[in-house]
């Protein structure tokens, strides 16, 4: 394989970077600008590929032709995002967020969500596969060897559970990517920092430092803690904590801006117009935060013959953007503050499970308190963090937690002072990485080089402990289902490419008839060991169940209970397998992503 390719399959944007191994030690990670339709009949390479699909009607398909596909079923990228703002009912967005939503059938044709019967639909897995297929086709069109034969490092949120990871690999397979390894996005961002800093990272960080990687993208907020330690006189890096999956990011901010703009328009908007306004608000916000202007006009198509010019117009200012986003999403909070979790209504509209509290700072305070490690350094990543004012506010909030109750410096602040860092601004040291839009793809490609012995590797393994639910054997009691115990099958930190038998203990496996297998996970329980049986499930969350019928031997009746022992395997790709092994050697594999 000549190339090592990193792909950041983002909620809002997809980016690609690569290493050319023929350049040897002189090889440097380079971005791959992705060719895409930017306007009807105009194909140009752009640094990123917007992760949007426009399901064009038959009449429009010739107009979205690509050099490698004269009539694609869906337009992907810049044109898709722009055209989707005009016809939002045909726009597929946030496919990655749907990919990890356990409340829906992620293999089912559900997107665009809420579209009418006249619009074709695709599954979240298919949507992700089409974005990756566009990348693969664009790569080949540039005259490069097919990605099917190259090593591809595909990133996922650290908070993705086993199901989301497995489905991401499935999407890659459908796109023809055959040599795929998964990498957590915050780790990829940190690898990009290491590549950018070179040997200087060893002077910027020291033993005892805890680095917070704060990755806020279009659809998710992802937190990771990386600890700096020492082994045989060398600095080592350990990923010690990851956050829960928080659907909170740039999409929420665009929605908040659109509501404010709708009030300024002063006219009731229908659902179609409101969705168009969200896309218009996003475009204006990105230009303002990038410094292109302090005030921009925003317009959407009107409805009705009385509207002059057929449009509704207003404007968005820098002051509005900073006030709405800073105060709404990054309020100053105390270290003891927690996200507000309101009582749920009995009947909910199906959709993405967005965070109920929009304050990123409260989610971060909870994360830091839960894992008991105050960050001494921070690396920001994600498109949202390009806003200087947003980054400064978040940094100020973290710095405020560094003040002890009596008003003096906290323990971490005193440690920095004793290390001669008293002249540093309050709060954690801010590490400087590469382009926030490209860092994850850049770091993924760099990680591929690390896997071949070039550079420092972050030790981590799986980001959660995983469990299988086991029904307790007890006499029947009216109105009380048998209690569920959780058996640890994959402990926190189990390395990719390793496997293990659970300690000697037999379980009963139901074969030959439909059965439900309940999987659970925890990002908090790090001391559990493989085979541990947990009765108290307070710190353990249930994942999507697996419903399937396992094959039965020819001479066995349906519903037979077979004594088995369990065997766990964390694949080199980064997905999980759980095998049930009978005494005679027969094995059943439980697939995490099966929903039938």
Angle (deg, nearest 10), helices 124-141 and 162-174: 40
Instruction: Kindly report the backbone phi and psi dihedral angles of residue 152, in degrees, each rounded to the nearest multiple of 5, phi listed first.
Output: -115, 130
CB 446 within 8 A of CB 438: no
Statement: residue 413 has pLDDT above 60 = no
Statement: residue 477 has pLDDT above 80 = no
- What pLDDT sits at residue 564? 93
Of the candidates 2, 7, 1, which has an alpha carbon nearest to the alpha carbon of residue 445? Answer: 7
Statement: residue 388 has pLDDT above 80 = yes
Cα dihedral sign, 481-483-488-493: positive
- What pLDDT sits at residue 411? 46
In whole angstroms, give the CA distance from residue 7 to residue 272. 33
In whole angstroms, give the CA distance from residue 532 to residue 535. 10
Of the candidates 9, 30, 123, 52, which has an alpha carbon nearest to the alpha carbon of residue 449? Answer: 30
Instruction: Kindly report the backbone phi and psi dihedral angles of residue 321, in degrees, each rounded to the nearest multiple of 5, phi listed first.
Output: -60, -50
pTM for this one?
A: 0.85
Instruction: Quickly state the pLDDT bin for 404 (edges 50, 70, 90).
Output: very low
Structure tokens, 488: 């640890």
Structure tokens, 140: 């080949």
CB 94 within 8 A of CB 219: yes
Structure tokens, 134: 């566009």
pLDDT, tens digit, 9 for 90 and up, residues 119-135: 999 999 999 999 999 99
Average pLDDT value over all residues in the chain: 87
DSSP letter string, 349-406: --S----S---HHHHHHHHHHHHT---SEEEEESGGGG-HHHHHHHHHHHHHTTB-TT
- What pLDDT sits at residue 233? 81
Phi-psi region of 24 (alpha: psi -120 to 50; beta: other; left: phi over 0): left
- What pLDDT sits at residue 267? 85
- What pLDDT sits at residue 403? 58
Instruction: Quickly state the pLDDT bin for 438 (edges 50, 70, 90).
Output: very high
pLDDT, tens digit, 9 for 90 and up, residues 296-352: 999 887 765 444 447 889 999 999 998 899 999 999 999 999 998 765 555 555 678
Statement: residue 161 has pLDDT above 50 = yes
- What pLDDT sits at residue 1? 81
Of the candidates 494, 509, 501, 572, which has an alpha carbon nearest to the alpha carbon of residue 546? Answer: 509
What average pLDDT does the segment 68-82 reach?
A: 91
SS3 string, 479-496, reads CECCCEEEEEEECCCCCC
Strands (DSSP E) contained in 479-559 are: 484-490, 498-501, 507-511, 515-517, 519-522, 533-534, 541-542, 546-548
Strands (DSSP E) contained in 96-233 are: 151-156, 180-184, 210-216, 221-231
CB 165 within 8 A of CB 156: yes
In whole angstroms, give the CA distance from residue 468 to residue 457. 30
Q: Provide the percentage of residues in the chain whose pLDDT is more than 70.
A: 91
pLDDT, tens digit, 9 for 90 and up, residues 53-64: 999 888 888 888
Task: State the first-to-last Cα distance of the chain, in angstroms, to the nearest integer.
Answer: 37
Which residues pair with residue 156 across a beta bridge? 184
């Amino acid at each position: 394989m000549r190339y090592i390719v990193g792909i950041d399959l983002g909620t809002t944007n997809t980016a690609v970077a690569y290493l050319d191994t023929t350049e040897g030690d002189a090889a440097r990670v380079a971005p791959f600008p992705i060719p895409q339709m930017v306007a009807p009949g105009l194909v140009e390479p752009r640094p990123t590929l917007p992760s949007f699909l426009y399901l064009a009607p038959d009449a429009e398909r010739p107009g979205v032709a690509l050099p490698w596909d004269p009539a694609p079923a869906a337009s992907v990228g810049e044109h898709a995002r722009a055209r989707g703002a005009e016809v939002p009912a045909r726009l597929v967005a946030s496919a990655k967020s749907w990919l990890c939503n356990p409340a829906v059938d992620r293999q089912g044709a559900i997107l665009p969500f809420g579209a009418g019967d006249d619009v074709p639909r695709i599954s979240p897995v298919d949507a992700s596969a089409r974005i990756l297929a566009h990348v693969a086709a664009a790569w080949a069109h540039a005259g490069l060897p097919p990605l099917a034969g190259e090593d591809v490092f595909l990133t996922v949120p650290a908070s993705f559970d086993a199901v989301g990871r497995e489905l991401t690999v499935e999407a890659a397979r459908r796109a023809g990517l055959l040599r795929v390894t998964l990498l957590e996005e915050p780790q990829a961002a940190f690898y990009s920092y290491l590549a950018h800093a070179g040997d200087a990272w060893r002077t910027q960080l020291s033993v005892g430092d805890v680095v917070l990687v704060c990755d806020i993208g279009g659809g998710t907020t992802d937190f990771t803690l990386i600890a700096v330690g020492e082994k045989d006189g060398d600095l080592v890096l350990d990923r010690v904590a990851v956050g829960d999956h928080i659907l909170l990011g740039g999409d929420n901010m665009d929605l908040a801006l659109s509501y404010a703009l709708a009030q300024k328009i002063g006219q009731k908007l229908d659902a179609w117009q409101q969705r168009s306004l969200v896309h218009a608000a996003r475009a204006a916000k990105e230009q303002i935060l990038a410094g292109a202007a302090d005030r921009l006009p925003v317009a959407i198509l009107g409805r009705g013959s009385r509207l002059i010019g057929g449009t509704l117009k207003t404007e968005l200012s820098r002051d509005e953007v900073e006030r709405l986003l800073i105060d709404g999403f990054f309020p100053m909070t105390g270290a003891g503050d927690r996200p507000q979790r309101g009582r749920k209504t009995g009947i909910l509209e199906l959709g993405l499970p967005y965070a109920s509290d929009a304050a990123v700072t409260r989610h971060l305070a909870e994360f830091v308190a839960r894992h008991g490690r105050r960050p001494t350094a921070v690396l920001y990543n994600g498109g949202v963090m390009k806003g200087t004012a947003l980054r400064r506010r978040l940094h100020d909030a973290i710095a405020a937690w560094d003040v002890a109750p009596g008003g003096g410096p906290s323990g971490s602040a005193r440690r920095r002072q004793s290390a001669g860092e008293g002249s540093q601004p309050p709060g954690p040291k801010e590490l400087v990485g590469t382009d926030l839009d490209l860092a994850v793809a850049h770091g993924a490609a760099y990680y591929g080089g690390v896997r071949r012995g070039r550079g420092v590797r972050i030790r981590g393994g799986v980001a959660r402990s995983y469990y299988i639910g086991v029904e307790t054997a007890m006499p029947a009691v009216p109105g009380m289902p048998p209690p569920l115990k959780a058996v640890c099958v994959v402990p926190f930190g189990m390395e990719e490419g390793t496997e293990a038998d659970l300690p000697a203990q037999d379980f009963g496996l139901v074969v030959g008839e439909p059965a439900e297998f309940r999987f659970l996970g925890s990002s908090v329980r790090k001391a559990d060991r493989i085979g541990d049986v947990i009765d108290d499930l307070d710190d353990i969350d249930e994942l999507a169940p697996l419903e399937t019928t396992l094959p039965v031997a020819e001479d066995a009746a349906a519903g037979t209970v077979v004594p088995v022992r369990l065997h766990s395997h964390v694949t080199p790709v980064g997905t999980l397998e759980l095998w049930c092994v009978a005494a005679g050697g027969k094995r059943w594999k439980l697939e995490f992503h099966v929903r039938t």
